[in-house]
Amino acid sequence: MPPEGAELAGRPADRLAGQILVAMPSLSDPIFSQTVIFLCAHGEDGAMGIVLNRALQQPSFAGLLQQLDIQPSPPQRAIRLCAGGPVEGARGFVLHTTDWREDSTLEIDGTFALTTSLDVLKAIAEGAGPRACLLALGYAGWGPGQLEAELAENAWLSVPPDESLVFDDQDETRWRRAMQKLHIDPLSLSPLAGHA
């Protein structure tokens, strides 16, 4: 599925876009075990999301801007970097609040948006840009019907987002906090999937 903002913007109405997917304990794939994913797009042609709780220690935000030759150096503002998923790991996606936008920005809902151009990074480096944001390298993608099948197999739960769950730097508690939004204690869930 192409992740370009303009291509995503032309898609039919997204069903779960703007929701957070929380991996169930039974999801044993090491790439997605205990992940919290903000779903940016979801429609007939598949889904695309950003993993929120896999922090990147390297490069630093300042180091990345230096590699991209974005001034000023050091930046006037820094944002959190995360490994957004296993697809296109060298490509950057800025998930942010809707108080900043440009032509290529994909507005996901009334609260969150996604921008892939360097202009947002330049604005952040200058101390401006969106009020709250993070930079993800890579994304998680699903083909047509794949996410629906995983949801039917109880691999994921869906919860409404809030800014702290999306943007704060508390990766070690993000999965548990997402579960608690559903009033579920993760310790009470069996890691084994079962069918009646």
Q: What is the pLDDT of residues 5-22, one digit of tens each?
A: 333 343 334 589 999 999
Averaged pLDDT for residues 68-88: 94
CATH number of 5-188: 3.40.1740.10
Task: Give 57's pLDDT tier (boundaries 50, 70, 90).
Answer: confident
Averaged pLDDT for residues 93-107: 96
Task: Give 196's pLDDT tier (boundaries 50, 70, 90).
Answer: very low
Domain ranges of the chain: 5-188
pTM higher than 0.85, yes or no? yes
- Give the CA distances from residue 26 to residues 30, 43, 104, 157, 170, in Å, rounded to whole numbers and listed in that order: 11, 25, 37, 12, 23
Q: What is the pLDDT of residues 58-77, one digit of tens each?
A: 899 999 999 999 999 899 99
Percentage of the chain exceeding pLDDT 70? 87
**Burial class of residue 147 in the structure, from the number of CB atoms within 10 Å of its CB (0-12 exposed, 13-18 middle, 19+ buried):** buried
Q: Which pLDDT value is given to residue 190?
A: 52
Percentage of the chain exceeding pLDDT 90? 79
**Mean pLDDT of the residues in the chain:** 88
